[in-house]
Amino acid sequence: MKITGLMATAILLTVAGNFSVSAQRTPLMGWSSWNTFGLDINEQLIRGQADAMVSTGLKDAGYKFINIDDGFWNGRADDGTLLVDNVKFPSGMRALSDYIHSLGLKAGIYSDAGDNTCGSQNRIPYGLNVGLFRHEKEDCHTYFIDWNYDFIKVDYCGGIHHVLDERKQYTKIAEAIKNCGRDDIQFNICRWAYPGTWVSDIADSWRTTGDIYDGWQSVKDIIFENLWMSAYCHDGHYNDMDMLEVGRSMTGTEDRTHFAMWCILSSPLLVGCDMRDMRPETIELLTNPELIAVNQDPLHLQAYVTDYTDSCYVLVKDLETRFGDTRAIAVYNPSESERTIDIDLPKLELGGKVALRDLTERKDLGSAKGKYSVTVPAHGTTVMKAKAEKRLERKRYEGECGYISDYQELANNQAMRTGSYAADASCSGGAKAVWLGYKDENDLRFNDVYSKNGGNYELTIAFLSGEDRDIDIDVNGVRVGHVTANSGDYNRTATVTVPVTLRKGINTVRLSNPDYFMPDIDYIDLSLSR
């Protein structure tokens, strides 16, 4: 391992310690028709679900949207106007949205970025030629002005048929929504994988995975794919883990994990069961105000992984105030047996006595200092609210929690030379950032590096590489160092340490290499210089 050209650059910009929340949208809460009913919907069924949202208490708990997810068209007229299935919806779509609004709720609708919807694959010619492609402006006027809907989910089945450019087509749709005459429409992109960092500029939320189904393996897989997505949730824009299967066929423990992890990972909460026939325990879980508060917290943060131990993940995020004394903690056990995990509270930046409350059981757990032991059943999750005597500075930033400026999941990342993340049980948090470098924008950024007072720090980079690979190091946009790293094996971790200076408040640490691949990154540590 060689270290060359190290330099420490002092940046004396002081940032005011005001981390008040912004007035952005919190994750969408509502119900969607697809999980239980698919294409078998009608006007009476949708009205019944809206009534049930009110009568069961879901509306009072924060659920507002009744989303019609496919199944209402009957093609287009010769002039291009959308036609509604007037057997299933005899009163028309505007009368239905009016009814939903009369209950104090909001109405959601569905379309496709291409010409055909996903339902057309199941019942030809049901959804043919009803997508937004070539009808963006006209259809948005129909949905949001003529029919008065408040949300749209835009799928991609027809886009595959036309081999559309996702970014260009979804941006065109976003512009049509923006210019339709309303400024309150919520827009969800459903491309079944993370589209790319451009998506947060045009959409409120975006699907990060394939479709969910009613089974533990599906929920487990979706959680796994979203554990490392925290950097892409920000400013009222969210990673969508798909609709909820709570209240259908999974066990009570699995349902609780499903809902709790959707809450702490700040996914939209869209109920997918039949709300007219929910069990009491399903209603109790879906209306749990303390879990919902974690999801709807106005900081708009997604929890990130801090530890991976004995097959379990520990995740954390701030609540109420950035870098304050209150945080949400989840201990997630996807394994097939019960686990007892010791939580390192100082590692979660919680100092002194820490008051803990179980948010699922809604009971206080007392106070702890240093360590807290929690037993979690197989497929289970414990979510706690923690209030500490003092907030400590974060030392470790896992590579898989960093932001890759060129990250996307639509195309083969190796062919596109875009960075990604990979599970690795030997790494600190159970994963690492990989395939970085080769172009300047394929960097790894840590955008929320917080220093209470600013000053001189030691930056330690943990990396894996079987050959010499260079890393350029920038802090707050200024080049502060360059290292050549070689751990001797692509499966072996080594470290290199360089001096850096952080300003008071929030800092950005950037690792890059515009000319060749960087090493894989396990984590970075930041410690005050002695």
43-55 vs 93-102: helix axis angle to the nearest 10?
10
Burial class (CB in 10 A: 0-12, 13-18, 19+), 530: exposed
List the structure tokens of 255: 């349902």
- Alpha helices by DSSP H, listed for 363-515, are 413-416
Distance CA 132, CA 408 (A): 24
Tracing tokens 């929920």 back to the chain, one arrives at 219
The one catalytic residue among 85, 98, 211, 214: 211
Half-sphere exposure of 52 (CA within 13 A, CB side): 20
Distance CA 45, CA 62 (A): 21
Instruction: List, as one string, the DSSP characters of 297-335.
Output: -TT-PPPEEEEEETTEEEEEEE-SSTTSSEEEEEEEE-S
| Cis preceding linkage at 27, omega within 30 | no
Residue 155 designated active-site: yes
Distance CA 171, CA 178 (A): 10
- Alpha helices by DSSP H, listed for 243-383, are 252-264, 280-286, 289-295
The one catalytic residue among 69, 115, 139, 155: 155
Residue 325 designated active-site: no
Distance CA 190, CA 176 (A): 17
Residues 6+ apart with CB under 8 A from 8: 456, 480, 481, 498, 499, 500, 501
Distance CA 458, CA 3 (A): 14
Task: Catalogue the active-site residues.
Answer: 155, 211
